[in-house]
Structure 1
């Protein structure tokens, strides 16, 4: 134990029992927790991958793993719940790896407490099973760290390391943020090899295996992507297209990854500490505890390397709540020394109880009503549009339809403003977009607010407000309202197709149509006038009757 007093093995049963309880509670959250916006986007990307609409191999390995999801019974919520079960398994693997890494530096009870500290952290409890890159890449990277920290250099361990570390960049390129942890453990292994001449060469097998593993997985993944077949069928070079798409993605991601100054998600950092105070206290104690405990200098450096990953919160831009699933894993593995200090005053059972209590507080505050509203909304969309259509929304919530706008996240809106283009109007001019789903406050402000300036361009706001009418709750469809109080109006239609007259007879470009009539409308300016002194509607004819049930009241997403 390197200087620590070995306590009875049965003390590890306390944190193990709490871990088991929390895993049972967290498993229930798979089915009751609101689907987050980017979980819907991940599902949308899976759908696009299967249809050949994704050409970059990097950051799309999840799409291959879940390519069986499209076509399954149910809507996007049901698909995501199934995928969450796999992510839950990834989290369990991460817990095992965290305990295994910690065991290299501390006793069994402390190692189990490290895993418990991770699982009970508020944001991990809420997002550890989410359909995102974080649970997957955390399992892969902590697995690689475990192999490097604990396993002898054998053909099997090198192969496992190559597969785990090599697959990480294909999940997300933010895996590079673990480099200090890997470098520190590599230095530990090198320092423990003494003066062996062969040791550096044998250890070099690990990074070599990671590079080879990445290359093999990348080549196989890119060559067998549905998009590669589509590109090849049109006479294009699939490999060159994949490389170009990956290069563009890397360039855009690197430019957006880091920041200088105040953390953009500082409130979430504060909230994370407030809902996980035990973890926060152990984290603050760790630098002192690591250098006070009886360990070799390389061991202390290794623990410091694991702990240093937390500093990425001050340089990595996209460090929202779900990022803590990724960033806290190596940090938790380094909490052994601070737990040893804590255990001088607090027994293992009490520490386990403390972690449990704060986790239960987070669990108790879960809003379990939102996921039902999400299901109801998606069911309504599929009822109104039985066949897929193009649409606008915040995050790709309707996975099997074709999203026509960028993600309306802070990063996506930065891209929108930087382009200086009226991309919504351009999208409407490229193909009919009969649906708009108002599933975010940004879209609510655009469609109903008085001051949308700064969200979208004036041309895009005018295009959206002038071509869609609210149909059912957050569902807007292509349409026009013709006021009966004016003789006639000249209106621009950006969604060409068949429209149905609702209300009173309507004159369109000189021809009169009775209520219920279908009017073919081309893209462009049309003259409209009502035949009676009341408003008349032109609604997208292919939209089915809306559900008879009232639209859901309340938000479609929960905040962080």
Structure 2
């Protein structure tokens, strides 16, 4: 029997339909232009991967790999990537360069995502229209800048687009079942937000059954994919949990429930509205094209989409299902709490089909001169935006200061020590604090994370990085006009136990001001270790004379210090004469945001 649709056997090879064979020379030229522009986008992405500022999420994502290798991974949820990237620990790069390596891997996944998106579009559109859909997707500002960031999103996007491509392929091959099931399970193991694509998968599966001349066989085919995905997911989860330090089922179920409640149930309507309004300015051509495609979808002769006569008796409902399935992921930005700029990589690939549809209609309905002028205008505007983003952003928001900071930390501390910061920026060291994202700070205020007082008492972190405003020295001394801030107790604990070392780095230590009179002061050491005296003259510590530059071991507990008249500022700094960088570059902000 004839298949309802003959889709792609090879997702990269360009397959010619009868419609394509009638394509004019101009279409071939445009295809060549679009291929060259896609190569430009690829080089732009590589340039951005090497030079664009590392986001706090990317450092945090990297840290899980080293936590896993140290046996400190405490949750199996959304940490499966540690198995995919454990090889990165063999590289001798610093953390910034390790993230860059991860980004390059994500660029490769984006290339494959583009291939699968092409295969999806080619079920309905011409070669040139499909290429334009891909170009529209990758030239979108957030996707250009963050589409290949070292996060879950590029992995999950690659997996879901591949599954959609397979569902639109009406061949019933066992290797396609296994491939889709494997990709589906990896996507879920990497990030639970992959369930946002579940309605799309269901609609496309039902559409496949509806259009089939062998509905029973296709029903079994879709069922096999679902069952195989579940089996692979459970096997992968079981394997992953063996490397988790505390695989407590109740705690993980609670975390999963809390995550769902936080990201969807408690989220306000359109939580990422500000980011969306921002992209309306930078990506007006994309949104205008997308909206036009959504309207044109209902006005065109859909028989032109079809390469098989068997589909001439298609049902209207199948097109409604396709329309909804392709747009549903995008509409998740209306309710998903974490619809930050990087999320558009995950939300937009299928919706980009409608951009390709505009190109398809343009060359089908318009006169020659008009359509070439309009198409050229689209291309020029998208290219200008791409070049502006690719050149300007890595310059104004480069990762040079982050490289400098991380390099100097490794010079100050040649061997790993414990510390805390916003996001585990030095993942080869043991970070003992919590992830200070907006979500993390909300949990802190709700007493769902340890206080810094508890962290310092338990783990004795040797230094911290002030890579978030809450940890800045000036911020610790004032009360912010903000409902989310560190408690006064934690501010005092941090201020009492750390002194400024260099730039954004603070180390364990004490500072005393003896002024113009001699006196004896009592002080408490919370972080035990070797300390170096920094003073203008000799002081007595616990009745023992110590000279400037000399070291002594101070255990946790109470101690005494005395100095002669006019000693002024006296400091005890953790470590044996710690290296102080000579570089005077002042880093204003380690992170600039999205």
TM-score scaled to structure 2, two decimals? 0.86
Aligned to 2:502: 472
1:257, distance to aligned residue in structure 2 (A): 1.3
SS of residue in 2 equivalent to 1:292: coil
Do the aligned residues in 1 keep the contact of 2:37 with 2:135 (CA within 8 Å)?
yes
Aligned to 1:235: none
Deviation larger for 242-251 or 149-158 = 242-251
SS of residue in 2 equivalent to 1:100: helix
Equivalent residue in structure 2 for 1:356, among 379, 383, 403:
383
Deviation larger for 465-474 or 417-426 = 417-426
SS of residue in 1 equivalent to 2:573: strand
Alignment of 1:116-127 (within 5 A): 116-127=135-146
Deviation larger for 401-410 or 198-207 = 198-207
Kindly name which structure, 1 or 2, has the bigger radius of gyration based on alpha carbons.
2
Alignment of 1:367-516 (within 5 A): 367-368=394-395, 370-419=398-447, 423-444=451-472, 447=475, 449-452=477-480, 454-485=484-515, 487-503=519-535, 504-516=537-549
SS of residue in 2 equivalent to 1:197: helix
The whole-number CA distance in structure 1 between the counterparts of 2:417 and 2:336 is: 37
* Closer/same/farther in 2, CA of residues 532 and 554 from structure 1, 3 Å limit: same
The whole-number CA distance in structure 1 between the counterparts of 2:18 and 2:255 is: 45
1:548, distance to aligned residue in structure 2 (A): 2.0
Q: Indicate yes or no: 2:243 matched with 1:251.
A: no
Provide structure 1 residue ranges, at least 5 long, that are not aligned to the other structure: 232-237
Do the aligned residues in 2 keep the contact of 1:162 with 1:206 (CA within 8 Å)?
yes
Aligned to 1:332: 352
Aligned to 1:557: 591
Q: Indicate yes or no: 2:297 matched with 1:290.
A: yes
* Closer/same/farther in 2, CA of residues 421 and 165 from structure 1, 3 Å limit: closer
Aligned to 2:5: none
1:206, distance to aligned residue in structure 2 (A): 1.9
The whole-number CA distance in structure 1 between the counterparts of 2:354 and 2:69 is: 40
* Closer/same/farther in 2, CA of residues 353 and 300 from structure 1, 3 Å limit: farther
The whole-number CA distance in structure 2 between the counterparts of 1:164 and 1:249 is: 24
- String of CA shifts for 1:526-559, please: whole Å, max 9, x gaps: 3433324111101102462212222443432233
Do the aligned residues in 2 keep the contact of 1:180 with 1:305 (CA within 8 Å)?
yes
Two-structure CA RMSD over aligned residues (Å): 2.5
The whole-number CA distance in structure 2 between the counterparts of 1:311 and 1:473 is: 43
1:436, distance to aligned residue in structure 2 (A): 0.8
- Number of residue pairs the alignment of both structures matches: 547
- String of CA shifts for 1:239-269, please: whole Å, max 9, x gaps: xx26456434322321221144343332211
1:100, distance to aligned residue in structure 2 (A): 1.2
Do the aligned residues in 2 keep the contact of 1:506 with 1:531 (CA within 8 Å)?
yes
The whole-number CA distance in structure 1 between the counterparts of 2:523 and 2:487 is: 19
Equivalent residue in structure 1 for 2:551, among 510, 514, 518:
518
Q: Indicate yes or no: 2:50 matched with 1:31.
A: yes
TM-score scaled to structure 1, two decimals? 0.91
Alignment of 1:13-412 (within 5 A): 13-194=32-213, 196-223=215-242, 225=243, 227=244, 241=247, 243-244=249-250, 246-258=252-264, 259-295=266-302, 297=316, 298-341=318-361, 344=366, 346-347=371-372, 348-368=375-395, 370-412=398-440
Equivalent residue in structure 1 for 2:578, among 534, 544, 554:
544
SS of residue in 2 equivalent to 1:84: helix
SS of residue in 1 equivalent to 2:426: coil
Do the aligned residues in 2 keep the contact of 1:188 with 1:302 (CA within 8 Å)?
yes
- String of CA shifts for 1:473-510, please: whole Å, max 9, x gaps: 11110111100226344433321222111113233344
Do the aligned residues in 2 keep the contact of 1:422 with 1:459 (CA within 8 Å)?
no
The whole-number CA distance in structure 2 between the counterparts of 1:13 and 1:150 is: 26
Deviation larger for 103-112 or 317-326 = 103-112
* Closer/same/farther in 2, CA of residues 263 and 488 from structure 1, 3 Å limit: farther
The whole-number CA distance in structure 1 between the counterparts of 2:56 and 2:502 is: 21
Do the aligned residues in 1 keep the contact of 2:476 with 2:491 (CA within 8 Å)?
no
